[in-house]
Amino acid sequence: MAVMNVGGTLLGKQVTKRYPRRGDLQLVRLGTAASFTCSRCAQTKTARLVAVRGNALFCNGCYGRTEAERSLSEESGGSSAVSTPSSAVRHAEPSPSDVRDPSRVVVGERDWGLPFAVVHTDQMLGWKFSVRAEHLLLGTFPIPVEMADKVPPTSLNVALVPIDELALVQAAKRVPVLDYQPGVKLHLDGDRPLLTGMAWHRFVLPGTRVSVRWDHRAKTRLHIAYTRLRRPVVVAGTIVRYAYDPRIMTRDLAAADVRADRSEELVLITLRELGYLDEQGRALLPLPALLRNITERAEPGETSAREFENAVRRLLARKVLTWEWGSVGAGGTLRYPARDGESTVELLCYTPALREVEHDDPGTASGGRTEAGAHRVAGHLMRIGHLGKEASAEARAAYRYDHQRAGLAGPHELPRGFTYVREHERGV
């Protein structure tokens, strides 16, 4: 089985990324998840990450374990791809780590965009999911497999309304004023059913949590609801008014920081895109792994490893990054917090800046509906590389102009794998 280049196909899916080859193993990312049987663990897997050796396929976990075993079998004292910065950027280690190569840790890949909390009764089917960047870009959202064979061939009417407002008008025995969208249809993407043709509300960001209800008696109508936060919060410069998943916001939404130069920006983007994510949306990765990935992903001659090391120092000095301790389990899998009996490893940690909005006037409109008032959304980067897409010429030009206007040092070019959304006002 030949390993295809980016744009080719494997298992009937488009290859969107090729990772650096490790010996006779080639890891690739597919545009959508594919089902296959791992040649090592003999389990059926459904995933986007697939490793290939000749005609054999390996899941990401077995790929990591194979790499860990190979590293252990090599002679000790081998040099890593990128040198570690001096102790000036590190704090005192509470205990020694016996991790041979922290630059090769494996971060488990999860898909938080799938349906969860599925409730299926004789009257209705309900579920929840968190919006991903690809849902906003492609106008889609996931549905449970239980619904796929029951969707009528005609298009659906999707009603969108904040869930707390729906409860208020129902309690007052008023007919809710709903925003209906016609023309939403079923699309089967492998074993993952999707609805397409969705025009998301302008206030919906990557990470927004959504509740969906489909009544069996009205098969052509679907209710999508957002839960308003008790008080809006500012996450990385953007006002968020509805419940959200911090992990997805960290992974898919990279806000532009006017204080960050080009090197610092690439450090933060790489850490947020590839790091281990905890429930609070913190992204963690060993420094050698971070530097190796930045160097591999940077344009040739763009920035030196030493400049990235200095960028890490500056981010630590400003407390944008901090140090934490994790551990490495079987197969080189990164864990946080550290577990007893496992090799400890020091981790760089990005914590999303979060604060509550003290004074907020959302405004009101007729008909009993509360409107989300216009609010500022900071310019931000949104991850699209894993979708096999590239930023438009307009987005590149806008980023170049705003980056230069902010007086930031270094090249004013949009990082690969991201598109740029300019600062603007949003409301319902």
What is the reported pLDDT for 256? Answer: 59
pLDDT band at 136 (very low <50, low <70, confident <90, very high): confident
List, for residues 248-305, the tens digit of each pLDDT value: 989 887 765 656 677 888 899 889 988 999 999 999 999 999 998 888 776 666 667 7
The closest alpha carbon to 280, from 256, 250, 257, belongs to 250
Q: Looking at 2-16, 139-153, 389-403, which range is the least confident one?
A: 389-403
**pTM, two decimal places:** 0.65
Which is higher by pLDDT, 101 or 16?
16
The SS3 assignment for 313 reads helix
Going through 38-162 in order, the beta strands assigned E by DSSP cover: 44-53, 56-58, 116-120, 124-130, 140-142, 156-162
Beta strands in 1-148 (DSSP E): 9-10, 13-18, 26-37, 44-53, 56-58, 116-120, 124-130, 140-142
**What's the mean pLDDT when you consider all of the chain?**
75
**What 3-state class would DSSP assign to 189?**
strand
Cβ neighbours of 330 (radius 10 Å): 11
- What is the fold of 116-232? At1g16640 B3 domain (2.40.330)
Both tokens of 102, joined, read 């922290």
pLDDT of residue 70: 60
CA distance linking residue 344 with residue 385, whole number of Å: 32
Domain extents for the chain? 9-74, 116-232, 245-356
Right CATH for 245-356 from 1.10.10, 3.30.1460, 1.10.760, 2.60.40: 1.10.10
| Model confidence band, residue 176 (pLDDT cutoffs 50, 70, 90) | very low
Q: Decide: 41 and 61 in contact? Cβ < 8 Å.
A: yes
Rounded percentage of the chain residues whose pLDDT exceeds 70: 69
Which range among 64-68, 135-139, 316-320, 422-426 shows the weakest confidence by mean pLDDT?
422-426
Q: What percent of the chain has pLDDT over 90?
A: 15
CB neighbour burial string for 210-238, b if at least 16 within 10 angstroms, e if fewer: bbbbbeeeeeeebbbbbbbbeebebbbbb
385 vs 35, higher pLDDT: 35
Q: pLDDT value at position 334?
A: 92
Q: In what order do the strands lie in the sheet with 321-328?
A: 276-277, 283-285, 343-350, 321-328, 334-335
Q: Give pLDDT, residue 315.
A: 93
Query: What is the distance between the alpha carbons of residues 197 and 267, in angstroms, rounded to a whole number?
Result: 36
- For 160, counting Cβ atoms within 10 Å of its Cβ (0-12 exposed, 13-18 middle, 19+ buried), the class is buried
Name the 3-class secondary structure at 289: helix
Measured distance CA(286)–CA(321) in Å, rounded: 12
